[in-house]
């Protein structure tokens, strides 16, 4: 692998101006290996115009024709999710370099950049494949990307009254959620919005989705885990006659007449993990399991 020139597509967080030293380290490492580097347009403008960083011999990324050996996400898990939405079904593996606190997707810290780039060239890494949820609408089509790596949330708008979400799984009626919303989460997203609403932690590689209500009216409503091969149909009733659907946090307004069908996408997202990375170690660090706060 090291004998040929590799191509990298770099996505970044434009809200972290104090992290420019890490960007410089990455670009220096890639330049030393004569890599082809493409930076997404907004991030390129941020680096060159606002930060006035010398980015060297790089090119602006054409996202419509994204072709690369690796995608690098410089930021947190949110930046990683955005990069994954741009990669889509292209099957380019994504490496997440975290510019702040430890993340589940962006789990390489700034001090490990040089070592991690070397590992990519040496083939000393693994690739996890993560399930993705696809949303189809019967009615108004979604304006943006129709897939989610983390979760799909059906939510009430603003301060409106709770909504009713009629839910069927594989044609069988499950229930009508009276709630502020409903989250359908992948294992990857189980430690995000779903978890904050009482959903289960699901280990990546477990081929299931979870359904978790947001502030349900009835306390006997509990999260449920279903096979990722399930087809989930949702219809919504709302006093405002519309609702929000959010895919990995990117929300759109839909009329209540819209019928949603959620199922596993026909592709998986490839996530690069350094050799020796352990999910449960990250879980303990992120969740501070076992930490005694009394000390």
Q: Please tell me the distance from the alpha carbon of residue 156 to that of residue 214, in angstroms, as a whole number.
A: 10
Q: Which alpha helices (DSSP H) does the chain contain, by range? A: 20-32, 41-45, 77-87, 113-122, 193-196, 279-287
Q: Please tell me the distance from the alpha carbon of residue 15 to that of residue 241, in angstroms, as a whole number.
A: 35
Point out the catalytic residue in the list 77, 107, 151, 248.
Answer: 77
The arithmetic mean of pLDDT across residues 187-209, rounded, is: 96
User: Phi/psi at 121 (nearest 5 deg)?
Assistant: -70, -30
- Global pTM? 0.92
The arithmetic mean of pLDDT across residues 216-221, rounded, is: 93
The arithmetic mean of pLDDT across residues 236-249, rounded, is: 94
Residue of 81, 95, 7, 75 whose CA lies nearest to 272: 95
7-130+268-287 to CATH, choices 3.30.1150.10, 3.20.20.70, 3.40.50.10330, 3.40.50.300: 3.40.50.10330
Q: What is the pLDDT of residue 115?
A: 95
The arithmetic mean of pLDDT across residues 100-104, rounded, is: 76
- Report the share of the chain in percent with pLDDT over 70: 97
Q: Please tell me the distance from the alpha carbon of residue 232 to that of residue 263, in angstroms, as a whole number.
A: 6
Q: Please tell me the distance from the alpha carbon of residue 164 to that of residue 167, in angstroms, as a whole number.
A: 9
CB 38 within 8 A of CB 129: no
Q: What is the pLDDT of residue 51?
A: 79
pLDDT at residue 228 above 80? Answer: yes
Q: Longest C-alpha distance within the chain, in Å?
A: 62
Q: Please tell me the distance from the alpha carbon of residue 230 to that of residue 168, in angstroms, as a whole number.
A: 10
Average per-residue pLDDT for the chain: 92
43 CA to centre of own chain: 18
Task: State the CB neighbour count (10 A cutoff) for residue 256.
Answer: 16
Has 77 been annotated as catalytic?
Answer: yes
pLDDT at residue 213 above 60? Answer: yes
Name the residue with higher pLDDT: 65 or 11.
Answer: 11
CB 131 within 8 A of CB 264: yes
What is the pLDDT confidence band of residue 3, given thresholds at 50, 70 and 90? low
Q: What is the pLDDT of residue 140?
A: 78
Give the SS3 label for residue 174. Answer: strand
Helix axes 113-122, 20-32, angle to 10 degrees: 30
- Lowest mean pLDDT, pick from 8-22, 189-203, 268-282: 8-22
pLDDT at residue 2 above 50? Answer: no
Q: Please tell me the distance from the alpha carbon of residue 271 to that of residue 273, in angstroms, as a whole number.
A: 6
- If you search the block for the tokens 């660090």, which residue do you land on? 285
DSSP state of 111: G
Give the SS3 label for residue 81. Answer: helix
pLDDT tens, residue by residue, 134-164: 999 997 789 888 999 999 999 998 777 899 9
CATH code reported for the domain at 133-264: 2.60.200.30
CA distances from 262 to 29, 138, 287 (A): 41, 11, 29
Give the SS3 label for residue 67. Answer: coil
11 CA to centre of own chain: 13
Please tell me which of 78-82, 97-101, 276-280, 285-289 the model is most confident about, judged by mean pLDDT.
78-82
Domain boundaries, the chain: 7-130+268-287, 133-264
What is the pLDDT confidence band of residue 295, given thresholds at 50, 70 and 90? low
CB 221 within 8 A of CB 237: no
- Lowest mean pLDDT, pick from 104-108, 190-194, 205-209: 104-108
pLDDT at residue 38 above 70? Answer: yes
pLDDT at residue 264 above 70? Answer: yes
User: Phi/psi at 191 (nearest 5 deg)?
Assistant: -95, 15
pLDDT tens, residue by residue, 40-98: 999 999 888 887 888 888 999 988 889 999 999 999 999 999 999 999 999 999 999 99
Q: What is the pLDDT of residue 138?
A: 93
Q: What is the pLDDT of residue 226?
A: 98
Q: Please tell me the distance from the alpha carbon of residue 181 to that of residue 92, in angstroms, as a whole number.
A: 33
pLDDT at residue 1 above 70? Answer: no
């Amino acid at each position: 692998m090291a004998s040929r020139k590799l191509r990298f597509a770099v996505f970044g967080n434009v809200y972290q101006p104090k992290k420019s030293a890490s960007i410089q380290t990455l670009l220096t490492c890639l330049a030393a290996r004569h890599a082809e580097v493409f930076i997404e347009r907004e991030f390129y403008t941020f680096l060159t115009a606002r930060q006035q960083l010398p980015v060297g011999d790089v090119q602006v990324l054409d996202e419509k024709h994204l072709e690369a050996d690796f995608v690098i996400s410089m930021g947190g898990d949110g930046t990683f999710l955005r990069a994954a939405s741009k990669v889509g079904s292209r099957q380019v593996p994504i490496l997440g370099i975290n510019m702040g606190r430890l993340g589940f997707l962006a789990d390489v810290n700034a001090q490990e950049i040089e070592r991690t780039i070397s590992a990519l060239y040496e083939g000393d890494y693994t690739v996890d494949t993560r399930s993705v949820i696809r949303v189809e609408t019967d009615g108004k089509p979604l304006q943006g990307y129709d897939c989610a790596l983390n979760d799909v949330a059906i939510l009430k708008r603003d301060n409106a009254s709770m909504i009713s979400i009629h839910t069927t799984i594989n044609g069988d009626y499950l229930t009508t959620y009276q709630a502020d919303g409903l989250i359908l989460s992948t294992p990857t997203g189980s430690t995000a919005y779903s978890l904050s609403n009482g959903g289960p932690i699901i280990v990546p590689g477990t081929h299931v989705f979870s359904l978790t209500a947001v502030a349900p009216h009835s306390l006997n409503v509990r999260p449920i885990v279903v096979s990722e091969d399930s087809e989930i149909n949702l219809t919504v009733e709302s006093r405002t006659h519309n609702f929000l659907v959010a895919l990995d946090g990117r929300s759109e307004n839909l009329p209540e007449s819209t019928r949603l069908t959620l199922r596993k996408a026909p592709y998986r997202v490839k996530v690069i993990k350094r050799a020796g990375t352990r999910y449960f170690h990250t879980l303990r660090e992120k969740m501070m399991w076992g930490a005694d706060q009394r000390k």
